Amino acid sequence: MKNSNSKLIRKLFDFGGAPILAVGVLGLFYLEKRYALRKRKDALWERLKTNTMVSSTAVAALRLSLIPAMVKAASLGEKHNVGLLRILRVPLPLNHFLSFLLLDYGSYRWHKLNHRFPFLWRFHQVHHADLDLDVTTALRFHFGEVLISVLYRGGWALLAGVSPRQVLVYEIIFEVATNFHHTNLKLPEKLDRRLADFIVTPRMHGIHHSVIRDETDSNYSVVLTIWDRLHQTLRLDIPQDQINIGVPYIRKHTDVKELMVMPLQQVPDWKFPDGQVPTRV
Ligand SMILES: [Zn+2]
């Protein structure tokens, strides 16, 4: 089983999804420089260096730990015939559709937990501490956050009763969507709104990276926006030129070393360094 799982990961993720993702990132990097949505605050080169290094630790944790664990959980479910979709026994096309919905809902719940639980926020704030938001932020996660997510997301895949193949296809779509909604790409406003009826857009996710607490604690969805709608955590009412990106207690560029030790330090209050609480007038 171990061998067939590794083969499937290589076939679908390494030779299927990864090249698509790499080309997509380069394309989005070019487009967001050409059609910028928000003005940049931090120096591009410094951010590029920091984000590339932090992202490479996250990608290693994703490829070597999270993906094999989720695939393993799904194949264990298959072997022992457990999980919701195996109880439901619906026709295959519906099974594929439901597997996607279940996995995407799991991503919403996990993201929300990262904002609700102080221990998880210690890791997730590394992603939010970026002073700008673009495609280089998309994979800027502390590797600890990825490793901790193994238990939750692996357990979710097992309980959902999805197959290893469904896990891998979802994971590729998850990464494509993550790269897309973190970009600083100015889509025509009408198109952005239309898309936000179904999927998370750069404008929608920009609000999630605001220094204002109410706005950060909204828009947790990863692929489909339906989860934010159902839980009433959707915000689309903030113009991008009024969004201050980041967390209020970090207002300077943080380097790799500072970001790596950040989860070990006490989280400051949600205030600017001068003591003011960010609010919207
Ligand atoms: Zn977040």
| DSSP structure string for 77-133 | HHHHT-SHHHHH---HHHHHHHHHHHHHHHHHHHHHHHHH-HHHHHHHHHHHT-SS-
**Residue 45 domain-assigned (yes or no):** yes
Write out pLDDT tens, residues 87-127. Answer: 999 999 999 999 999 999 999 999 999 999 999 999 999 99
**Residue 276 domain-assigned (yes or no):** no
User: What is the length of the chain?
Assistant: 281
Instruction: Give the pLDDT of residue 42.
Output: 84
**Residue 274 domain-assigned (yes or no):** no
The domain of 248 spans 2-264
**Residue 157 domain-assigned (yes or no):** yes
Instruction: Give the pLDDT of residue 41.
Output: 87
**Residue 272 domain-assigned (yes or no):** no
Q: Under DSSP, is residue 210 helix (H, G, I), strand (E, B) or coil?
A: strand
Distance 103 CA to ligand 1 centre (A): 18
Distance 139 CA to ligand 1 centre (A): 12
Q: What is the tally of structural domains in the chain?
A: 1
**Residue 281 domain-assigned (yes or no):** no
Distance 161 CA to ligand 1 centre (A): 27
Instruction: Give the pLDDT of residue 1.
Output: 59
Distance 6 CA to ligand 1 centre (A): 30
Instruction: Give the pLDDT of residue 225.
Output: 98
- 3-state percent breakdown (helix, strand, coil) of the chain, nearest 5: 65, 0, 30
Instruction: Give the pLDDT of residue 222.
Output: 98
Q: Is 53 buried (19+), middle (13-18) or exposed (0-12) by CB count in 10 A?
A: middle
pLDDT means over runs of 10, the chain (281 residues): 85 93 95 94 91 97 96 95 94 97 98 97 98 96 97 97 97 96 96 96 97 97 98 95 96 96 96 94 77
**Residue 270 domain-assigned (yes or no):** no
Distance 273 CA to ligand 1 centre (A): 21
